[in-house]
Structure 1
């Protein structure tokens, strides 16, 4: 929960924050409705600890949703992703690689929707050895960073993204 709270505090852009929380809560819902049932009773010690963490987190989120007090549990995507992957038995290297690869897929999907490139170009990039190497090198570059050292500050970009939902015509309605 500390990482979720830190992520919430370090995300000044309301659009990015809302998106991260929506994705995290959706992943938590998928865990509860699909993965937890299919994996019932098939846990290692590390996975069992992660499952307990997910269940506690989900319970705290439900309690926070009913409360009128200040929200103490947010449900950002990154921490929920990590604990769900651990509960599914993935190792840390696989979790990091998949997280970055999913981000690349999201960026390429946005490029296709914006007609910057076509779907075949997008798929060729995803299947390329260059991308695999880039993702692996990116992970190596930041692997030993502590969470408090992992952020970056781009105020102009935060302002630009934060104003996106107020535009008359938006590229994406998310």
Structure 2
């Protein structure tokens, strides 16, 4: 195998095996003593859902995502389409997922594959994020996830390369000044930190990317409910339907092979909506 695609497949396979090994070591170090009360042959360990994945997909995860609408509030205020809010929302959600996939997904993929490059990827993403409002939202959630990692999720993760990279990143982020001697500056963007955390917790690359996009969709749908775009049952129906799953899988497939150097804003209007959010006369979200 000599092509770039084949090398990438092998890299992902190695990363997947390393993640499985890290998760197995964590279970070995923290597994309870087998007893008649907790043994159940009908539920083999390998047949259970991924416990870390369930944790990170929880809407109650304290990341502050509920405070952001990802431009939805500004989009509705500017109302670029002659439709009702509920009719226009699926179109906006598609644009929001496309924006996330073209601007930040490549950084997530790169950080998961090579967590030792976490600081460099964070600095590059910060330099390439032109919208200051979007930058603040990404950094706020990234720092919240890093704090959550250190205070709650770090236990049992072992000393994997991703865990070590997160530890080094945290030290640099907390240092004063933030500038290192080599000129690299870290900010704490959400996507690279998410990738390193999921890698350290034994979550595969595809699971990490899909959950990241799905969590973003959940946050936007939640914002739509609070903005009275739709009711809670309609929102759950959208999350549970095949349409959203197809949208996420589609943007993943279209941007899976994109390198960091090729990442760019795929929907320029999203930056305008997010950037003009602070100019609204009244607003209920931070962005």
TM-score (norm 2): 0.54
- Match 1:165 to one of 252, 261, 278: 278
1:53 aligns with 2:165: yes
User: What does residue range 89-128 of structure 1 map to in structure 2 within 5 Å?
Assistant: 89-128=202-241
Change in 2 beyond 3 A, CA 1:132/1:160: closer
Q: State the alpha-carbon separation in 2 of the partners of residues 127 and 50 from structure 1.
A: 32
Q: State the 1:56 CA deviation.
A: 0.4
Partner of 1:6: 124
Give unmatched runs, 5+ long, in structure 1.
Answer: none
Q: State the alpha-carbon separation in 2 of the partners of residues 135 and 163 from structure 1.
A: 26
Q: State the 1:132 CA deviation.
A: 1.9
1:67 aligns with 2:177: yes
1:81 aligns with 2:199: no
1:23 aligns with 2:141: yes
Q: State the 1:75 CA deviation.
A: 0.3
Per-residue displacement from partner, 1:28-75 (whole Å, max 9, x unpaired)?
A: 0000000002x154x6xxxx0000100000000011xx3276881100
Give unmatched runs, 5+ long, in structure 2.
Answer: 1-118
TM-score (norm 1): 0.86
Q: Whose Rg is larger?
A: 2
**Contact between 2:178 and 2:186, CA under 8 Å: does it hold in 1?**
no
In angstroms, what is the RMSD of aligned CA positions? 2.0
SS in 1 for 2:154: helix
Change in 2 beyond 3 A, CA 1:88/1:116: same
Q: State the 1:163 CA deviation.
A: 3.1
Q: State the 1:158 CA deviation.
A: 2.6
